[in-house]
Structure 1
């Protein structure tokens, strides 16, 4: 993260960092804010629901007016799987675009009242910030916890089930076809919602140089290590600054660790609520094959009270990674960027059970590098993962490949 200081232009004194109110996006922004606040005037801009987390991080915050948290949560974390269902996709994307437009409008009014920064660093899910910055003459950068999702002219594309690097001509051809498929899908979505999207000020999907207009043309802060990513021709704006890890302090109780037992954390992050009961049942089946081990399944929500126990499985509301992750012998996670890098930085062995979004691409990178094992058989693979867990705990991951 110290690499970030080398990129800040001379003359910048005030920096605003912007993120939606979701842990996987807010926490990296808080991590950057804590580093930058050593030398600059830093403000975190998000919704009212995370104001306490910003304060707990020791940072100044500005909250957008109105109740943005409830509609945002209902869109990105529905009680059902969106998948590739066309009507659900249509409804979700239309609502997302409407919320982004509101975000942009409220941000511009906020800057008129409170003063604009010299530099705005916005999470990649907030492309409307770029248009506001253009109108207000503010320098705009993007932050990206998952650089694997960037469009590039070569390499394994994202959102195709977790493609590995091409090893021969056939695989390179297959990757090229998949890249075209992804671009065609993006063009189709943009055309379908062109009238709604243009209300945000975004006129085109790609710039004349081929770069994606959703990201800053000046700087994309890749919150990863280039050596971890698959080889590809990165856009000129990309700068790797390493993972940005931070978890705000909470009042949640400590997880129930038992003396002389192996402990495994199972997490799907803060989203995917529609799938968590099914995963909990799979964890119970897995735990029955390792009766002397203790399993903690976390819902990822600080607002959920209490804990449940069934034999050697506990269902917990929240586990603070900064405080407790090193107490676990292994982690089973969904491939979210946050928990992935927490495990890598703390050298915690991991099984990866991807469900959606870029999680399959992270699973592929962990599996390829020997830093994790990808569970590819769905819930059945999770239920029967006992031997893999024992291999992780008692031997090096690389020895099991």
Structure 2
């Protein structure tokens, strides 16, 4: 089969797509479509890539993903991001329409942040699936609604009513944005937000690949199209040296991923304060810049500032990780059996923090000022009772070529 996989250049979205492409490539004709800056990672992963957006459009994408300050619910910042995203999606749709008119794939696997690509595939009669690295963001008929600060399952009738109101508010908000931006939405092929059956039109009605394990998620009635296939973990090879692990010492990794540079100086300050409190711990702070040529900096005898840490290769060497709640680092840590402190910053990260804490595999750090107390709590022997179970589930899911099996079934 001829299969095209589409993703933005962000690591949390591109790397899972690369993992799927590597699983499919020995058996099918596979192409990964992304931006110019993503081509090096695609090639280093042994895959064939082609450019979907130009360099100028890629720069605009990074402005959306890596703003100088948090977006959260600020209406002006959300509005600016939405207008910019809609323009980019329209340009992407035009490029894809030209491409697929000339040469159609048999299947398109589309990251959930690029819904116009899936809708265009449907218009052209091309089978399309959604790649969803954060299943928690999907709307369901029950359970805690996403994007509302990390809600947990209702424990009483009052909380159940609050959740129902939150789900309704979310739908009203999405419908309102669609009505407000109706001309742009129609140009993208989004005639409505919801299908007659209530499912979200921007996700594939045939197959939503949930790149996680159900044991981490809160109980909900998932859409029929959703299929848990386990996390897709892959880090393209890089030339960065291994972190300076000290034999016999305990090690903490502090990372906010590849985005959200606005918070990294604050994280580095908090890490330095913690390193002074715990001189027996080695503290590594990652800037998350894989393409950086910067050299590591030793700020204190037990504090190192590193340009990049490869999760796939080096995360198993740590005893604890402080991260932002991105899906990629969550599942890398779970696979390695490393407990987490989660300092959520934006988007779905609060929902991830709530799930990790409820599962007994992480502690939610709500304020950096509380880091010493939360770190001390993490050192207790019973701080992470659910970690071993989740680690076993992640490894079991990753042992199966679940995406390949579903593609083979589609081919048959």
In structure 2, the partner of 1:26 is 14
SS of residue in 2 equivalent to 1:385: helix
Matched, 1:63 2:51: yes
Matched, 1:166 2:151: no
In structure 1, the partner of 2:62 is 73
Q: Distance in 1 between matches of 2:382 and 2:26?
A: 41
Q: Distance in 2 between matches of 1:21 and 1:237?
A: 26
In structure 1, the partner of 2:115 is 127
Note the alpha carbon deviations across 1:120-154, whole angstroms, 9 max, x for none. Answer: 00000000112321233210110101111111110
Task: Pick one of 318, 338, 342 that aligns with 1:348.
Answer: 338
Matched, 1:16 2:19: no
Note the alpha carbon deviations across 1:358-379, whole angstroms, 9 max, x for none. Answer: 1111111111111111113x11
Instruction: Out of 128-137 and 359-368, give the one that drifted further.
Output: 128-137
In structure 1, the partner of 2:356 is 366
Whether contact under 8 Å (2:359, 2:386) holds in the other structure is no
Whether contact under 8 Å (2:70, 2:346) holds in the other structure is no
Task: Pick one of 224, 230, 236 that aligns with 2:212.
Answer: 224
Give the deviation of 1:301 after TM superposition: 0.9
Give the deviation of 1:65 after TM superposition: 5.0
**How many aligned residue pairs are there?**
384
Whether contact under 8 Å (1:94, 1:196) holds in the other structure is no
Give the deviation of 1:319 after TM superposition: 0.6
Note the alpha carbon deviations across 1:146-166, whole angstroms, 9 max, x for none. Answer: 111111110111111111111
Whether contact under 8 Å (1:286, 1:384) holds in the other structure is no
In structure 2, the partner of 1:196 is 184
Q: Distance in 2 between matches of 1:52 and 1:336?
A: 22
SS of residue in 1 equivalent to 2:370: helix
Matched, 1:147 2:135: yes
SS of residue in 2 equivalent to 1:141: strand
Unmatched tracts of structure 2, length 5 or more: 388-412
In structure 2, the partner of 1:4 is none
Matched, 1:298 2:280: no
TM-score, scaled to structure 1:
0.92
Matched, 1:317 2:307: yes
Q: Distance in 2 between matches of 1:399 and 1:197?
A: 43
Task: Pick one of 308, 327, 336 that aligns with 2:317.
Answer: 327
Unmatched tracts of structure 1, length 5 or more: 1-12
Give the deviation of 1:302 after TM superposition: 1.6
Note the alpha carbon deviations across 1:298-354, whole angstroms, 9 max, x for none. Answer: 111123312222212211111111111111111111111110011111111111111
In structure 2, the partner of 1:10 is none
Cα 1:251–1:370 shift into 2, 3 Å: same
Q: Distance in 1 between matches of 2:374 and 2:207?
A: 41
Q: Distance in 1 between matches of 2:176 and 2:295?
A: 45
Whether contact under 8 Å (2:178, 2:185) holds in the other structure is yes
Taking only aligned residues, the RMSD between alpha carbons, in angstroms, comes to: 1.6
Note the alpha carbon deviations across 1:9-54, whole angstroms, 9 max, x for none. Answer: xxxx111111000000000000111111132111111111111111
Give the deviation of 1:195 after TM superposition: 2.1
Q: Distance in 2 between matches of 1:385 and 1:65?
A: 43
SS of residue in 1 equivalent to 2:214: coil
